[in-house]
Structure 1
Amino acid sequence: MEPNNDEITLKELLGKAKEWYNYLLSQWKIIVLAGIVGAALGLTYSFIKKPVYTATLTYALEDGKTSGGGLGSLASSFGLDFGGSTGGAFSGANLMELFKSRAMVEQTLLSPIVYKGATISLAEMYIQDRNWRKNWNEKAKFKNLQFLPNADRSKFTRVQDSILGTIYGDLSKNSLSVEQKDKKVAIGTITMKATNELFAQLFTNALTETVTDFYITTKSKRAKENLDILVKQTDSIRVELNGAITGVAVANDNTFGLNPALNVKRVPSARRQVDVQANTAILTEIVKQTELAKVTLRKEMPLIQVIDQPILPLPKEKFGKAKGILLGGILAGFMAGFGLIFRRIFRQII
């Protein structure tokens, strides 16, 4: 059987590699020149590229779980629910998603801060830092856009919604990260990266405060509602008790010096006395439940405890000059080499 002429032997393969090597070696001036240009571009990029600052905040999460026990069963007789186990909805990974949610981030962006001697929102600081308003002044629908501190989000226009969405997309994808290193330990870390050092610090602190307020309000909502109901019931029963006590006094005055044989005249006083005893017993129990409800509400807060906050100066990552020269030169040299190879192949095909 004759050997297949289409097969390439190792010797021929090495010969082809040597041929390409000699060709690239003959074009060394072009490759070196490309490397020099690439190094210059890399050096220029190192001057243009802004350093990236990293703000890190560490927090501890209290699960806030209360067994309830006798309190829960006793409160249920009054139609109340202390909701001691509501913390699960925002625990662990769910809480991390809450930090990265659009609602929390946008609410944080509308938080007031003092920047360059003026009180503005974090969204306005973001816009100023990127010089967006220079281009907006040329467009009528963007020219008068404002993102005031604590503005009513529900009244924003479609354009404002779009801009906030753009800022949120950039922060969530490129800047903001929330992680929990160990599932067994309820300690999380919020990391914010930005080219503006102050923005990174202020945003991280404001986001934590926003989420904490929302978290506390949500988790303690049922406990607070129960406390409000008990307080109203306590006031109502106290009014009834005071009225019953007054009624007993009035009835006793009416029967003072009464003939003992006329017992029917003493009935109003006896009825009022029963009302006093009943209201006293009810008031005692409700006051007890009110105090227990206050304890339950206190156990719900605080839920997020900040351990470490970002402190200026923040750690920064800078694209170094040596790194720019080295990477630029190597990348440009490789691109020049591949370009020469493709050009020769194309000429051979033609």
Structure 2
Amino acid sequence: MSTKSDQITLQELISRLKDYLLFLWSKKLWFLVFAAAFAVVLVAYNGLKTKKYTATTSFVLENGGAGLGDLSSLASLAGVNLGGALSESNDLFQIDNIQELYRSHRMISETMLTEAPFRKGGDLLVNKFIEQNELREEWEGEQGLENISFSIPREQFTIQHDSLLLEFTDMIREDYLAVSKPNRKLSILNVNVTDEYQEFAKRFNDALVQNVNSFYTKTRTKKSGENLAILQKQADSVKLVLEAAMLRLAQVQESAPNRNPLYKTPLVEEQKLMVDIAASSAMYETVVKNLEIAKVSHRSKMPLIQIIDYPILPLKDNQWKLAKTIVVGGLVGGFLALIYFTGVRMLRVALKEEEHQ
């Protein structure tokens, strides 16, 4: 009994491939129609969509505290045991959490109330935001909103001011702002602000980066700065006490230049002053050592924020160039045509094989 082999020879495979290519070649006009149609659709979509500009600032962040070993060595040479003072790590403001800091209501609202140098004169970003979004037209007839002004001191803001700022913050966070890390292994952060008005996008991006980075630096160095100020005050106080004791000793010695060495009582005050000077000198030396260590520690807490790229006008927009749009549209149309006619071909072959069985 003989059976039909299901194996396909190389010659049959080449023959089928040749038939398939000839079939596609016979549909070349349809390929052109598909490519032209999708190119037209993509050009129309690209031209009709709202043009938006994106301002991008990228920077690298290196947290302070990397030189703790050097600080410990310096402390040991100075004869001071720091213990765990330098081993405390504050992970509140690591690079991952800074992304949320950029999206916080405080940072965005402070940025909205920042004055920016627009081409037609400086103005608050919040005023430009209201003007560009034509919000005052929407507020017509609403009591208290038609003539509301943000160009007043912050402490004079009413509930309406705070409510609007909260609403603006949500709008910025959802539709304008994007903060991301291009690589999880690198301490690089990208801050993107997208808007229909490129100057507003740039000015808001610049102000937001400035405000957040300044807040971050101050917060990172706040504790070490307070400790430094306390030590500096102590050093100044001890120095004044030491100088006063030295001055008093000189006055006592000058008051009796030819003192009789047989009289010991007058020497008591002089000896007391010398003890005070020795104690104050030792205390001042210790405080100065701690002060110098605190200065090094304070400098090590300063984070390195190095701007890599910053937005420059004119900004890039979301619309493609005409040539790129036509090419991409043609390729997409041709690919879809290939899928369609390949499916048709496979279906016909399958139906033909079933008829012969």
TM-score (norm 1): 0.71
Task: Tell me whether 1:57 sits opposite 2:57 in the alignment.
Answer: yes
Deviations 1:146-168 (A, max 9, x none): 1228x42x542222222212211
Deviations 1:233-291 (A, max 9, x none): 11111110111111211221244322222122211111111111221222222223222
Distance 2:85 2:114 in 1: 32
Distance 2:321 2:138 in 1: 31
Residue number in structure 2 paired with 1:140: 143
Residue number in structure 2 paired with 1:338: none
Residue number in structure 1 paired with 2:123: 120
Moved more, 84-93 or 58-67: 84-93
| Partner amino acid, structure 1, of 2:236 | D
Q: What's the CA shift for 1:116?
A: 5.0
Q: What's the CA shift for 1:318?
A: 3.0
Change (3 A) 1:164 1:147: same
Residue number in structure 2 paired with 1:258: 259
Residue number in structure 1 paired with 2:15: none
Change (3 A) 1:294 1:89: same
Residue number in structure 2 paired with 1:332: none
For the residue of structure 2 that corresponds to 1:134, the secondary structure is: helix
For the residue of structure 1 that corresponds to 2:151, the secondary structure is: coil
Residue number in structure 2 paired with 1:176: 177
Matches within 5 A, 1:1-350: 46-47=47-48, 49-65=49-65, 66-67=67-68, 68-69=71-72, 85-115=88-118, 117-148=120-151, 151-152=153-154, 155-318=156-319
Q: What's the CA shift for 1:174?
A: 1.8
Change (3 A) 1:244 1:80: farther
Distance 1:114 1:182 in 2: 33
Q: What's the CA shift for 1:231?
A: 1.3
Gaps of 5+ in 2: 1-39, 330-357
Residue number in structure 2 paired with 1:8: none
Distance 2:45 2:298 in 1: 59
Please say if residues 109 and 169 of structure 2, whose CA atoms lie closer than 8 Å, have aligned partners that are also in contact.
Answer: yes
For the residue of structure 1 that corresponds to 2:314, the secondary structure is: coil
Q: What's the CA shift for 1:71?
A: 6.2
Deviations 1:89-145 (A, max 9, x none): 110211111111111111111111133533221111111111112333543311221
Residue number in structure 1 paired with 2:27: none
| Partner amino acid, structure 1, of 2:233 | K
Please say if residues 82 and 293 of structure 1, whose CA atoms lie closer than 8 Å, have aligned partners that are also in contact.
Answer: no
| Partner amino acid, structure 2, of 1:60 | V
Moved more, 202-211 or 299-308: 299-308
Q: What's the CA shift for 1:86?
A: 4.6
Please say if residues 82 and 296 of structure 1, whose CA atoms lie closer than 8 Å, have aligned partners that are also in contact.
Answer: no
For the residue of structure 2 that corresponds to 1:306, the secondary structure is: strand
TM-score (norm 2): 0.70
Residue number in structure 1 paired with 2:4: none
For the residue of structure 1 that corresponds to 2:231, the secondary structure is: helix
Change (3 A) 1:146 1:81: farther
For the residue of structure 1 that corresponds to 2:186, the secondary structure is: coil
Q: What's the CA shift for 1:192?
A: 1.3
Change (3 A) 1:169 1:81: same
Q: What's the CA shift for 1:216?
A: 1.0
For the residue of structure 1 that corresponds to 2:145, the secondary structure is: helix
Please say if residues 245 and 273 of structure 2, whose CA atoms lie closer than 8 Å, have aligned partners that are also in contact.
Answer: yes
| Partner amino acid, structure 2, of 1:296 | S
Please say if residues 61 and 303 of structure 2, whose CA atoms lie closer than 8 Å, have aligned partners that are also in contact.
Answer: no
Please say if residues 99 and 211 of structure 1, whose CA atoms lie closer than 8 Å, have aligned partners that are also in contact.
Answer: yes
Residue number in structure 2 paired with 1:341: none
Q: What's the CA shift for 1:205?
A: 1.1
For the residue of structure 2 that corresponds to 1:142, the secondary structure is: coil
Change (3 A) 1:57 1:73: same
Moved more, 250-259 or 165-174: 250-259
Q: What's the CA shift for 1:294?
A: 2.1
Please say if residues 75 and 81 of structure 1, whose CA atoms lie closer than 8 Å, have aligned partners that are also in contact.
Answer: no
Distance 2:102 2:273 in 1: 58
Please say if residues 179 and 189 of structure 1, whose CA atoms lie closer than 8 Å, have aligned partners that are also in contact.
Answer: yes
Gaps of 5+ in 1: 1-38, 327-350
